[in-house]
Amino acid sequence: MEIALLLFLVIDPFGNLPFVLAVLKRLDGRAYRRAIARELGLAFLILLGFAVAGEAVLAYFRIDQASLQISGGIILFLISLKMLFQSSKAIFPGEYQADPILVPIAMPAIAGPAAITTLIILRNQQQAALGEIVLALLGVLTLTALVLLAGRRLQRLLGERGIDAMEKLMGLILNMVAVNMVLDGIRLSLG
């Protein structure tokens, strides 16, 4: 349960909702649902891959946990700045809006640096069982699917300004998480 809660907070489906709505804006209802299912499936495979082999990948490239924390924080920081000062439409170029595959929804929005780092830490430093992580991921991605599939109804309920306000708030929260990740990475490197 703790693993699932942590992953839910890190994956942040409510924070990703305005972004996903903006990216998939041009799709009709059926194509929107299909894109959500596909992107969540790809995100699951990416996250599972890092849960299984993340430490080995980092070791192969000689990347330590501090570097992972700092680089992940910088990426999230840049995305958060765009969320705060631009609309979601400006975060990624228009060619992604036709029907994106893998980028930018599956990765980096859902299977982003924070989620990958969290999984690697859970598996290797906290020795979480792979079965626990798989169940937690399935549960979190199911909840994420429910949030994203209800997204257009929420958008109608909140209106364009409400979604924009939610995006700015989530951008601010993401900005704070990013700064904290960088600070944690610096503390880890100083050791």
Digitized pLDDT (tens) for each residue of the chain, 191 residues in all: 889 988 988 888 887 887 888 888 889 999 999 999 999 999 999 999 999 998 888 889 998 878 877 887 787 788 788 778 876 555 555 555 567 788 889 998 899 877 888 898 788 767 889 999 999 999 999 999 999 999 999 889 988 788 778 778 877 887 887 898 889 889 989 97
User: Which SS3 state, helix, strand or coil, does residue 183 take?
Assistant: helix
CA torsion, ordered 110, 111, 112, 114, to nearest 10 deg: 100
The hierarchical CATH code for the domain 2-190 is 1.20.1250
Let me know the angle formed at the C-alpha of 178 by 14 and 13, rounded to the nearest 5 degrees.
Answer: 15
* DSSP E strand stretches across 46-109: none
Inter-residue long-range contacts of 126-133, CB under 8 Å, 24+ positions, other chains counted: 128/3, 130/51, 130/52, 132/3, 133/3, 133/51
What's the first-to-final CA gap in the chain, in angstroms? 30
* Residue 32 · residue 190 · CB < 8 Å: no
Give, as one character, the DSSP assignment of residue 27: S
